[in-house]
Amino acid sequence: MYSKLKQTVHENALKAYNTGLMAGTSGNFSTVDRDLKVMAITPSGAAYETMLPEDITVIDFNGNILSGTKPPSSEWQMHLSIYEKISDVGGVAHTHSPYATSFAVLNQSIPVVLIEMVLLGGEVPLAPFAMPGSKELGDVTAETLLKKQTSACLLANHGALTIGKTMDEAYMKAVYLEDSAKIYHFAKSIGEVRIVDESAINEMKEKLGL
């Protein structure tokens, strides 16, 4: 019944692991079926290299396990809070990608240093610190995304998070976020960073229909 949801989460989580967006068992990925009122999410403490589609956990909106033999990610409340507060989100990717997370540790947002960052919504803001695994983390993250009208943010002293209309889109935005953070890091190390002019950002958003 939930095989498609499980497959989608598994494929994107494995891609993210293989491209270095997180290490060990860190990070978590989910997608939602709003009609069925269920969320498929990576299981807690599972190694990505041995994870199978059937290991993905499906829960209802109260956290009850409907499918899967392992408990859901400890961050399931964060994912659920985002789905509840942002109605058009269909996928959430939470990574510990090194370059993006380094700015989260510095408690610094990432300005629009690449015009392509409009695909993320523009500047990547910093969500205030909240304890991992808490609903509060989901609340402050969702509020940050909504306030800044963006699909990517940094989690203070924790990691990075992206959302999308689908799980595939959320994963791809996680890739774009890490690439932007890496370029920003290199640029800062060799000279003065020039931020994209706001008029150019608005023009590109209009061109792309964003």
Domain chopping of the chain, boundaries: 3-208
What is the predicted pLDDT for the residue at 209?
A: 78
Distances in Å between the alpha carbon of 140 and those of 37, 131, 146?
23, 11, 10
| DSSP one-letter code for 43 | B
What is the predicted pLDDT for the residue at 208?
A: 81
- What is the mean pLDDT of the segment spanning 49-62? 95
Angle between helices 167-190 and 98-106 (to 10 degrees): 70
Higher pLDDT, 200 or 98: 98
Structure confidence at residue 64 as a pLDDT band (50, 70, 90): very high
Give yes or no for residue 210 having a pLDDT over 80: no
The dihedral over CA atoms of 41, 56, 91, 61, expressed in degrees to the nearest 10, equals -40
Distances in Å between the alpha carbon of 58 and those of 6, 48, 70, 102, 182?
8, 17, 10, 32, 34
| Domain range 3-208, its CATH number among 3.40.50.150, 3.40.225.10, 3.30.9.90, 3.20.20.150 | 3.40.225.10
What tens digit of pLDDT does each residue of 148-164 get? 999 999 999 999 999 99
Higher pLDDT, 205 or 66: 66
* Beta strands 126-127; 152-155: pairing state: parallel
Give yes or no for residue 194 having a pLDDT over 80: yes
% of the chain surpassing 90 pLDDT: 92
Distances in Å between the alpha carbon of 83 and those of 69, 77, 91, 141, 168?
24, 10, 8, 11, 16
- What is the mean pLDDT of the segment spanning 152-179? 98
* Beta strands 65-67; 28-33: pairing state: unpaired
What tens digit of pLDDT does each residue of 101-137 get? 999 999 999 999 999 999 999 999 999 999 999 999 9
What is the predicted pLDDT for the residue at 129?
A: 97
Phi, psi of 144 (to 5 degrees): -65, -45
Q: Encoding tokens for residue 162?
A: 């992206």
Q: Which residues contact 178 (CB under 8 A, 6 or more apart)?
A: 21, 95, 97, 98, 99, 100, 160
Distances in Å between the alpha carbon of 22 and those of 62, 69, 99, 140, 195?
27, 23, 11, 22, 28
